């Protein structure tokens, strides 16, 4: 787990003051789509691997952006349990 920063976790996965919604969601997707267009990629997502299960910790907007840009893969930091 050398590549995992525990500060990224929260007891409440959906804190009201730290989760963009509505227009901010769309702006975030647009931002990541532009990064993909400019750089060919965006920042990696964070995934928790627990046995055979994979749980997304962070990166929903990046996944949507990658899909909309017709990329078939995205880099990920994988944290194993």
Distance CA(16)–CA(6), nearest Å, equals: 20
Phi, psi of 50 (to 5 degrees): -125, 95
Residue ranges per structural domain of the chain: 21-80
* Residue 56 bridge partners (DSSP): 47
What CATH architecture applies to the domain 21-80? Alpha-Beta Complex (3.90)
Looking at residue 1, what is its pLDDT? Answer: 42
Summarize pLDDT for 27-63 with one digit per residue, the tens.
Answer: 889 999 999 999 999 999 999 999 989 999 999 999 9
Is the model's pLDDT at 5 over the cut of 70?
Answer: no
Indicate yes or no: pTM above 0.75.
no
Distance CA(17)–CA(10), nearest Å, equals: 12
């Amino acid at each position: 787990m050398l590549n995992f920063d525990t500060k990224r976790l929260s007891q409440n996965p959906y804190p009201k003051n730290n989760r963009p919604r509505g227009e901010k969601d769309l702006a975030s997707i647009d931002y990541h789509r532009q990064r993909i267009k400019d750089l060919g990629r965006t920042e990696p997502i964070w995934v928790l691997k627990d046995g055979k299960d994979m749980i997304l910790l962070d990166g929903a907007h990046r996944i949507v952006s990658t899909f909309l840009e017709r990329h078939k893969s995205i880099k990920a930091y994988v944290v194993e349990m």
